Chain A
Amino acid sequence: MPQRSSWSGRILDGTNLMLLLLISLITLVPFIYVLAGSLAPNEQIASNEFFLIPKRLTLDAYRYMFSTSTILRSLWVTVGVTVAGTIFNLLMTSLMAYPLARKDFAARKPILIMVIFTMLFSGGLIPTFIVVRSLGLLDTYAALVIPGAISAFNLIILKNFFQQLPDGIEEAAKIDGCHDAAILWRIVLPLSTPALATFALFYAVGNWNNYFSAILYINDYAKYPIQVLLRQIVILASGGIGDSSQFSGGVCRAVRFCQNGRDRDRNPSDSARLSIFAKAFYKRDLAWFRERLISVRVFTDKLKVEKERGNRNEQTESDSRAGGCQYVGVGGESIGGMCRYEGGRKGSKRDSDDLHPGSAVHDRADQAGQCGCEENRGVYQVQTGANLGPKRSL
Chain B
Amino acid sequence: MLTVWNRQLRKQGWLYLLVTPGILYFVIFKYLPMTGLVIAFQNYQPFLGIAHSKWVGLKHFDRFIHEPAFWMLMRNTFVLSLYNIVFFFPLPILIALMLNELRIQWMKRVIQTVIYIPHFMSWVVVVGLAYMFFTTQDGIVNNWLSMGGADPIPFLGSVGWFRPMITLEVIWKETGWGTIIFLAAISGVDPGLYESAKLDGANRFRQMWHITLPAIRSTIIILAILRLGSFMENGFEQIFLMLNSLNRDVGEVFDTYVYTSGVLQGNFSYSAAIGLFKSVISLVLVVAANYGARKWGEEGIY
Contact = CB atoms under 8 A, between A and B. Distances in A.
Contacts of B194: 1-2
Given A123-B37, A239-B135, A363-B245, A234 B259 contact: no
A66 interface: no
Nearest to A371: B261
A111 interface: yes
Given A127-B37, A209-B122, A372-B69, A366 B266 contact: no
Interface stretch (A11-19, A67-75, A299-307, A322-330): A11-19
A41 interface: no
Contacts of B99: 20
B98 A16 contact: yes
Q: Which of A30, A256, A393 has the most CB of B within 10 A?
A: A30
B258 to A, nearest CB: 5
State the main secondary structure of chain B at its contact with A.
Answer: helix
State the main secondary structure of chain A at its contact with B.
Answer: helix
Contacts, number: 326
B19 A100 contact: yes
Contact of B23 (A13, A34, A48, A111): A111
Interface size class of A (residues with CB under 8 A): 35 or more
Interface string A182-218: 0010000000000000000000010011011000100
Contacts of B95: 20, 23
A269 to B, nearest CB: 11
A4 B131 contact: no
User: What are the 8 tightest A-B residue pairs by CB atom distance, in nearest-first order?
Assistant: A390-B266, A123-B33, A96-B22, A124-B275, A287-B122, A127-B36, A242-B246, A180-B14
A21 B33 CA distance: 47
Contact of B124 (A99, A147, A231): A231
A105 interface: yes
B258 A125 contact: yes
Interface in B262-296: 262-268, 271-272, 275-276, 278-279, 282-283, 286-287
Interface residues of B, number: 108
Interface string B120-157: 11111101110111011110100100000000001011
A216 B26 contact: no
Given A34-B132, A286-B121, A372-B67, A124 B115 contact: no
Nearest to A201: B120
5 contacts: A107-B19, A127-B34, A288-B123, A288-B241, A292-B264
A91 to B, nearest CB: 8
A114 B30 CA distance: 10
A124 B258 contact: yes
Contacts of B204: 2, 9, 12
A197 to B, nearest CB: 15
B29 A179 contact: no
B286 A120 contact: yes
A150 B19 CA distance: 12
B264 A127 contact: no
B2 interface: no
Contacts of A230: 122, 124-125, 128
B118 interface: yes
